[in-house]
Amino acid sequence: MKFDVMKQVLVRIVTAQKNNLNANVSGTGISACTRFGGICRVFRTDKNVCATKNAQFSSIVLIILSLLLTASFLTSCITTLTEPLDVSFQETLVIRGVVCSGEPVRDIAITKSLNALDNLSDSAVAVWDAQGTLTVNGRSFPLTVQPNRTNPHASLYHALNNGAPIIAESGSTYSLTVQWKGKTASAETSVPAAPDVQTVQTLRREILSLTSATYIPGTQPVTTTRRDTLLGAEVSILPRAETAYRAGVYLTDTQGRILTETFDGGLVFSTTASNASSSLVTGLLPLQTQAFARRMPVRTIVSVVAFDKAYYTYSQTRSRGQQASNLFGGTNGENVLWNVKGAGIGLFIGLAETRRVVIP
């Protein structure tokens, strides 16, 4: 209902209520009652009756005025869009690459950003015609689309040295430069040394689980109590300067096939090298993953990963865009800190891993 129409209806209600009150007052013997600004002036008989009726009318007027103000406020807050919503954006490169010590440099994802109203998919963000180089310790190699991709819709790139894969090495520096549609993005990372693991100690946490079930319809549920053990590990390492570390635990079968995801502990950053050991704690294997151990022989693997400093910087800022006060980041230091620079965002990170098999 339009605000003007609502106003007319409410005015008619006020008039009707006023006439009704006048009729009621007249029936009490009051010959004339003049109301102005909520004041009742009695010319002849019972003042109490007049005051009561005037209070009733004043209450109704206040209610009506409140409704009018509310309707006016709501009407003023409604904006009718006469033109399409402007969701323009600046297309940029989005890059993700992990350089792992001892493994080929591959699976570098070169993609693009999308309009907010576009459907997100691998094919929608794919960039197939990017040009770029991977520079290793001052020597450059061209980037090419990776032919043996597990996902044919993903635009993944690699670099080859005379047709052979480039194997990442700890202590080496890797620089990435990408050009596409007049845009240039770049990133640099150093692959850290593999974590120097001193000791690994298994951790067990006893928990009490309660299960409630109704076995016979119409009867009270039966509660079953069971004591279980969650498994994790505490790892002692010798930290190196400007390196971040994280420890996790997972299960494999006896052939080394991974059976579970890795349950990580917190990320720890070391500013300086030290001969004193530092402690890392893994996450805990949940109950459902331990079902493997009851059905088949398994191995419990503790993984300790060392990351380039840039990954730690990213991890400390990656939740900034989720703040309710600044939903999409912002321009006052609230953006995620990527190490991809120029006309792009993303991460190009070096890492190294040390694994240990533990016996629960």
Report the distance separating Cα 95 and Cα 118, nearest Å. Answer: 19
Give the residue among 353, 88, 128, 138 at the shortest CA–CA distance from 243: 353
Q: What is the mean pLDDT of residues 14-24?
A: 48
Domains of the chain: 3-77 (no CATH), 93-190 (2.60.40), 196-338 (no CATH)
Dihedrals φ, ψ of 218, to 5°? 90, -5
Q: pLDDT value at position 145?
A: 95
Q: What is the mean pLDDT of residues 18-38?
A: 40
Q: What are 343's two structure tokens?
A: 């006309």
3-state DSSP assignment of residue 10:
helix
- Please tell me the predicted confidence (pLDDT) of residue 178: 97
Residue 53 pLDDT > 60: no
pTM strictly above 0.85: no
Side-by-side strand order, sheet with 222-238: 196-213, 222-238, 278-281
- Cβ distance 198 to 238 under 8 Å? yes
- Give me the pLDDT at residue 307, please: 96
Evaluate if residue 181 carries a pLDDT over 50: yes
Cite the DSSP H helix spans in the chain.
3-26, 47-77, 122-125, 291-295, 309-317
3-state secondary structure of 25: helix
Confidence band (pLDDT; 50, 70, 90) for 204? confident
**Three-point CA angle 211, 217, 221, nearest 5°:** 25
**Predicted confidence (pLDDT) at residue 305 exceeds the cutoff of 90:** yes
Q: Which residue, among 178, 160, 195, 166, has the nearest Cα to 356 in the 3D structure?
A: 195
Residue 192: DSSP 8-state: P
Residue 263: count of CB within 10 angstroms of its CB? 19
Q: How far apart are CA 343 and CA 107, in angstroms?
A: 21
Write down the pLDDT at residue 71.
61
Angstrom distance (rounded) from CA 237 to CA 262: 19
Mean pLDDT of the 325-340 span: 66
End-to-end CA distance of the chain: 71
C-alpha to C-alpha distance for 238 and 354, rounded to whole angstroms: 13
Lowest model confidence (mean pLDDT) among 170-184, 200-214, 261-275, 343-357: 200-214
The predicted structure's pLDDT at residue 70: 67
Q: Bigger pLDDT: 112 or 36? A: 112
Is residue 105 within a helix (H) or strand (E), and if so which, with residue range? none
113-170 residue pLDDT tens? 998 788 889 999 999 999 999 999 889 999 999 987 788 899 999 999 999 999 999 9
In the block, tokens 């869009």 appear at 81
At 308 the pLDDT is 94
- Predicted confidence (pLDDT) per residue in 86-110, tens digit: 667 789 999 999 999 999 999 999 9
Mean pLDDT of the chain: 78
Q: What is the CA radius of gyration of the chain?
A: 36
Between 21-30, 32-41, 251-260, the lowest mean confidence (pLDDT) is in 32-41
Which of 13-22, 74-83, 178-187, 231-240 has the lowest average pLDDT? 13-22
What local confidence, expressed as pLDDT, does residue 223 receive?
76
Q: How far is the CA of 301 from the CAs of 48, 264, 291, 355, in angstroms?
A: 90, 12, 16, 7
Is-contact 320 336, C-beta < 8 A? yes
Higher pLDDT, 256 or 56: 256
Write the Ramachandran bin of 329: left for phi over 0, alpha for psi from -120 to 50, otherwise beta: left
Of 18 and 30, the structure prediction assigns the larger pLDDT to 18
Share of the chain above pLDDT 70, in %: 68
